[in-house]
Amino acid sequence: MPRSTSKPTPPAFELPGIDTLRKAFEGLAPLSELRIDPEAWARAQQHYVQNASALWNEALTQHLSPPSDRRFAHPAWQDSGSGFLAQLYLLNSRALTELAESVQAEPKTRARIRFAVQQMVDASAPSNFLALNPEAQKKALDTQGESLAKGLQLLWADVQRGKLSQTDDSAFQVGRNVATTPGSVVFENDYFQLLEYAPLTKEVHERPFLMVPPSINKYYILDLQPENSLIRYAIENGHRTFVVSWRNPDERCAHWTWDEVIEGAPIEALRVVREITGAEQVNALGFCVGGTILATALAVLAARGQRPVASLTLLTTLLDFANTGVLDIFVDENLVKARELTLGDPAKPGLLKGAELAQTFSFLRPNDLVWNYVVGNYLKGEMPPAFDLLYWNGDSTNMAGPMYCWYLRHTYLQNELKQPGKLTVCGEKVDLGRISVPTYVYGSREDHIVPWEAAYASTQLLRGPVRFVLGASGHIAGVINPASKNKRSHWLGPENHPADPQAWLQKATETPGSWWRDWAAWLGRHGGGVKPAPKAPGSRKYRPIEPAPGRYVQQKA
């Protein structure tokens, strides 16, 4: 019987109809609020059919282009069947993203739809499933099933630990090979331990330097390794350096309020540092939420007629919460009310668990921080390599419910911190405009947690002379960018700071290397004179309690 030479009939490629899409998005907004432009949908359908047909023809002629996505970089994905599956997945992903962009709704609803579609797209990648992943299948055959057995062991270990492993936690120990800069705990209360670090220079600046890290993370992101430690860098530049090490709240701390933390942590730390050193003023730095907390404390003190700082550094900090990036999609009145009922009730306060916070931040970048490890750990049976940054990322912290709910409502939801006199904290009307000290404001250009434009907005709120610097990379990698490695770039622009951040950027100049050197020169100008370095930590009143990094940072969520 003669063999047929006709080509296989191509599948009927077609995107879902408008009504189907509207129903799929119904959970994100009422149907009455969702509209999909018929013309945009028709264009998307046309593009999809054209691209799918072209892909089908490529597959038939055995000239299929290799997938460009790194998830499909292994040679096993070059097989015609697997390659076609990967390319079809990527085509569907682009089409769904295009459809999500065509939805007509208010901005937050559109952002939620885009986020939900991206989560669905990332989760449905064929690389995430053993039955569809030729690389994992090949490894299982090559190892005679050992990789699958190891993957099951890693999965069970993670189930018992209650979190997805992103690094080999056994490779690190706080105080042994991370957070190793020598120092002492010189003060502690229920909220924090105050660390003072041993000087590395014979002379130090007259004004001491206090760093307030975010309360939702461990402080040692600023002291991972000696070569990338911002803490050590400050010490090497002749600053007598103190750092707030937050207590990791447990059930006994669930009642903490925003006011109690402001009074008991940054305000108390400033008082103790000044007492220990005898300095009238200190230089202070706040990182991320730590910057919000520190600025609030300084506004409270300004209302009391106190000026305890000579300069202020804010790293990736939100004071104006009009633009909160991807996090904005999670925050609305219903969510805040639900949190207030479950965590913020003063009669029965709760804790926001660190694992929940960590999971939320991981799913902001699911391919890098979730599915990459699902595939590597469980499908291929590979223990993730040791990486200090990911160890820190997994060392999560809790938040006291009342404090968290206050922060959520008055900043992310209602954006009241920037409004002079709108909020009362620690019995004082808060006005950020009363913070009239030289301020160094830093933003990271690819930051998805604190968009650089939002960090820049602080220049419009603070009264003193402000220097804004824009760094490359993201929320963490942009900040932890050691000067010695001379990596990435930073941008320096006009210091009159127009209201529009893009207008500033247009006049800014790109400078190769880390922003650390620029900051060190700026901070040095506010350090005062120099004097001999102290021979011992603390003072007669504040004697060392224990060596750094102290007990509080060792507490697990």
Find the helix packing angle between 134-142 and 146-161, rounded to 10°: 110
CB atoms within 10 A of CB 498: 15
Query: Distance between the two ends of the chain, CA-based, in angstroms?
Result: 72
Coil, helix or strand at residue 442: strand
Whole-number Cα distances in Å, 61 to 87, 296, 433 = 15, 65, 68
Task: With CA atoms as reference, report the closest residue to 413 among 509, 318, 313, 288.
Answer: 318
Q: Which of 253, 288, 405, 426 is catalytic?
A: 288
Which residue shows structure tokens 């305890």? 308
Annotation marks residue 288 as catalytic: yes
Give the containing element (helix H, strand E) for 468. strand 466-471
Tokens of 432: 């950020």
Helix ranges, 282-321 (H): 289-303
Give the containing element (helix H, strand E) for 22. helix 18-24
| Cβ(167)–Cβ(385) below 8 Å | yes
Q: How far apart are CA 179 and CA 222, in angstroms?
A: 8
| Cβ(443)–Cβ(450) below 8 Å | yes
| Cβ(258)–Cβ(184) below 8 Å | no
- The three state secondary structure string of 98-111 is HHHHHEECCHHHHH
Residue 69's Cβ-side half-sphere holds a number of Cα atoms within 13 Å equal to 20
Q: How far apart are CA 482 and CA 230, in angstroms?
A: 8
Say if strands 203-205 and 509-512 run parallel, antiparallel, or are unpaired: unpaired
Name 212's bridge partners.
Answer: 286
How many residues would you count in the chain?
Answer: 557
Q: How far apart are CA 299 and CA 283, in angstroms?
A: 15
Catalytic annotation, residues:
288
